[in-house]
Structure 1
Amino acid sequence: MRTPAEHGSGPLSQIAGAVFRYTVLGLCLVVTCAPTLVVIVLLGQGSSTVPFQVLALLPVAPALSAGLWAVRGWQQDADASAFLLFVRGCRRNVGDVLRWWVPTLAVGGVLGANVALADVVPGAELVRGLSIVVAVLLPLWSGQMLIVTTFFAFRTRDAARIAAAELFSSWRVTLAHVSLLVVAVGVVRLGTEALLLFCAWAFVALLEVSSRPTVRDVRVRFTVRA
């Protein structure tokens, strides 16, 4: 599939190419994350469903990683196929991403249960405060981890340490991730989960832009140039 950018270098061609690429990216994200939306809708609201809603997020991180890979790819080559870049990102990164995303979701499910069921489970109130703190830090660390495992090929444990270091050293990027999380929660609260899914392409684009300092820092500090 070839993009409209190949047929000219003028402003209109560039705009058409960008619209085409982001449309393809949006459709890819909708298809890959649709199972998450279906499961969350079918589960409904309720404290007992929180762990299952967290586990339903399994396809999200690999999809975001593939989207980031696609955005970075067509910035380097505007004529590259957006769909093929997304598929290539999935194949390249899905294993690395799932190696940390699955245990992260498991921990998130436990934390969600601790917070949601603290009023009805004896003793749960004692760990509620700690669970809230960890539940706040976990998605921020996950954001840095997503960037590291998308654009670099470290071992999982090394990537985890680097992401933890970047959480504080690249604090501006962390704040940008916080802003994106706040906006995402606002979209869900004021709209629906489906609206957030259809806006996922914009979040991926903003995430790629905001995370460039982390990519540069990791490349300088933790990689060796040939």
Structure 2
Amino acid sequence: MTDPTDPVGTGPLSQIAQAVYHHMALGVWLVLGCAPTLVMLTLLAPSPLAVPFFVLAQLPVAPVLSAGLHAVRAWRGEPEEGPFALLWRGLRANTWDVLRWWIPTVLVATVLAVNVWASGTVPGAELLRPVAAAAAALLVLWAGHMLVITTFFSFRTRDAARVGAAMLVVQWRVTLVYISLLVVALGITAFGSDVILALSAWALVSVLEAVSRPVVVDVTARFTRPCDGRRTATTTRPPAR
């Protein structure tokens, strides 16, 4: 039962309704934000020539996911703020920081994907397939850490890249969870479709925010310092978000 003296919205039913509303808004945001990618993937035929376009179609994904991570974390501190306002705030705050590493990452992933997919058409190139596949997997895991770091901190891109590489090893438990999420996403795509993955992306983003909290704590402790009651970066441009 809700105490009559409590502010409106503190009862269990109100909390559940608010959580459902927030995640519905997150789901709509992710579907709309990734709509260009979904359209491109639907139009592409599975062939080696389509691999570069398939990878390049992922360009809008990282900024949209970053805004989702920002909103999921902000809901805990600003429960009364509208979810779409928080999502839009995260998009405006993080898009440029995310794109500065995401665009080169997508270009590198394009080269690796071509090496994996089309290596059978070139004599002797099959030897590169396992190396390219391992590099692509490592790149995706690094990108997961980079997504978290550039969402919640204002590091310079080269420093964020170093921190992301360090977190791959230092926070190896979180990296293993990232591998699990990647396997789940690939399974949904393989046995379902890209549309199903987009519709369930809200759950993956919520889980990603939850499991990435040790990374945020570790980065804050290792690479930021207190300054006038705030946390500023030790080797990067302040302030940390």
How does the TM-score come out when normalised to structure 2?
0.89
In the TM superposition, what is the alpha-carbon distance from 1:21 to its structure 2 partner?
A: 0.7
Describe the SS at the equivalent of 1:146. helix
Query: Which consecutive segments of 4 or more residues in structure 1 shift more than 3 A?
Result: none
Are residues 1:152 and 2:173 paired? Answer: no
In the TM superposition, what is the alpha-carbon distance from 1:68 to its structure 2 partner?
A: 0.2
In the TM superposition, what is the alpha-carbon distance from 1:44 to its structure 2 partner?
A: 2.2
Instruction: Show CA shifts across 1:50-74 (max 9, x none).
Output: 1110110001100110000000101
Are residues 1:166 and 2:176 paired? Answer: no
In the TM superposition, what is the alpha-carbon distance from 1:77 to its structure 2 partner?
A: 1.6
Equivalent residue for 1:128?
A: 129
Describe the SS at the equivalent of 2:120. coil
Equivalent residue for 2:56?
A: 55
Equivalent residue for 1:102?
A: 103
Describe the SS at the equivalent of 1:225. strand
Aligned partner letter, 2:10: S
Are residues 1:66 and 2:67 paired? Answer: yes
Equivalent residue for 1:87?
A: 88
Are residues 1:203 and 2:210 paired? Answer: no
Equivalent residue for 1:12?
A: 13
Aligned partner letter, 2:93: R
Aligned partner letter, 1:188: T
Describe the SS at the equivalent of 2:225. coil
Describe the SS at the equivalent of 2:226. coil
- Whole-Å separation in 1 of the counterparts to 2:226 and 2:54: 42
In the TM superposition, what is the alpha-carbon distance from 1:190 to its structure 2 partner?
A: 1.3
In the TM superposition, what is the alpha-carbon distance from 1:89 to its structure 2 partner?
A: 0.3
Instruction: Show CA shifts across 1:172-224 (max 9, x none).
Output: 11011111000111111111110000111100000000000000000000001
- Whole-Å separation in 1 of the counterparts to 2:126 and 2:46: 21
Describe the SS at the equivalent of 2:119. coil
Equivalent residue for 2:193?
A: 192
In the TM superposition, what is the alpha-carbon distance from 1:122 to its structure 2 partner?
A: 3.6
Q: Which moved more, 1:135-144 or 1:41-50?
A: 41-50
Describe the SS at the equivalent of 2:219. helix
- RMSD (CA atoms): 1.1
- Whole-Å separation in 2 of the counterparts to 1:34 and 1:61: 13
Equivalent residue for 1:3?
A: none
Which one has the largest radius of gyration?
A: 2
- Whole-Å separation in 2 of the counterparts to 1:121 and 1:41: 28
Describe the SS at the equivalent of 2:19. helix
Aligned partner letter, 2:112: L
In the TM superposition, what is the alpha-carbon distance from 1:123 to its structure 2 partner?
A: 4.3
In the TM superposition, what is the alpha-carbon distance from 1:48 to its structure 2 partner?
A: 1.9
Instruction: Show CA shifts across 1:51-104 (max 9, x none).
Output: 110110001100110000000101112111110000000000000000000000
How does the TM-score come out when normalised to structure 1?
0.95
Q: Which moved more, 1:20-29 or 1:46-55?
A: 46-55
Structure 2: where are the runs of 5+ without partners? 1-6, 228-241
Equivalent residue for 1:216?
A: 217
Q: Percent identity?
A: 54
Q: Which moved more, 1:43-52 or 1:97-106?
A: 43-52
Instruction: Show CA shifts across 1:140-161 (max 9, x none).
Output: 0000000100000000000000
Structure 1: where are the runs of 5+ without partners? 1-5
